[in-house]
């Protein structure tokens, strides 16, 4: 579960390394976000190699899609999936991906959302 103030890893090639959650969308006074939710984030750190040719800059505000959480994900068939980190993928204002590559695997539940392009860019799916 992600809430306001949580630091998240960025797993695409947009140039950002760490971001902090500012706001959780989809609901009035909603406190927590889970895998598949969109949040508003601020860029805190950039990657060393891509610092000058980055698509994002430090301090910029972006939307982000949560793809991994440390808390347990339960599916319809009672499978559960736990990751070791909280991770996001950056989006622009029109909910398109900023990066062109996704590093690592993502949960299979994202196949049934409107972000189907993310599934094709990732290296694998985890149930």
Instruction: Report the predicted TM-score, pTM, of the whole model to 2 decimal places.
Output: 0.93
Helix (H, G, I), strand (E, B), or coil: what is residue 120?
Answer: helix
List the domains of the chain with CATH numbers.
Answer: 7-102 (2.40.150.20)
Long-range CB pairs of 96-103, under 8 A, 24+ apart, other chains included: 97/12, 97/121, 98/12, 98/14, 98/55, 98/56, 98/62, 99/12, 99/13, 99/14, 99/55, 100/12, 100/13, 101/12, 101/13, 102/11, 102/12, 103/11, 103/12, 103/13
Residues facing 33 on adjacent strands: 2
**Structure tokens belonging to residue 77:** 């068939």
Helix (H, G, I), strand (E, B), or coil: what is residue 126?
Answer: strand
Q: What is the pLDDT along the chain (127 residues), one digit of tens a residue?
A: 899 999 999 999 999 999 999 999 999 999 999 999 999 999 999 998 877 888 999 999 999 999 999 999 877 777 888 999 999 999 999 999 999 999 999 998 898 899 999 999 998 888 7
Closest CA to 37 of 105, 102, 109: 109
Residue with tokens 């959650």: 21
């Amino acid at each position: 579960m992600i809430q306001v103030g949580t630091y998240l890893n960025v797993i695409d090639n947009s140039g950002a390394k760490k971001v902090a959650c500012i706001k959780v969308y989809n609901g009035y006074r909603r406190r927590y976000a889970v895998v598949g939710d969109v949040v508003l984030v601020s860029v805190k750190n950039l990657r060393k190699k891509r610092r000058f040719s980055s698509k994002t800059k430090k301090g910029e505000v972006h939307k982000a899609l949560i793809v991994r959480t440390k808390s347990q994900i339960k599916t319809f068939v009672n499978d559960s999936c736990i990751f070791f980190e909280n991770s996001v993928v950056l989006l622009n204002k029109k909910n398109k991906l900023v990066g062109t590559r996704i590093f690592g695997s993502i949960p299979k539940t994202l196949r049934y959302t409107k972000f189907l392009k993310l599934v094709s860019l990732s290296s694998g799916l985890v149930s």
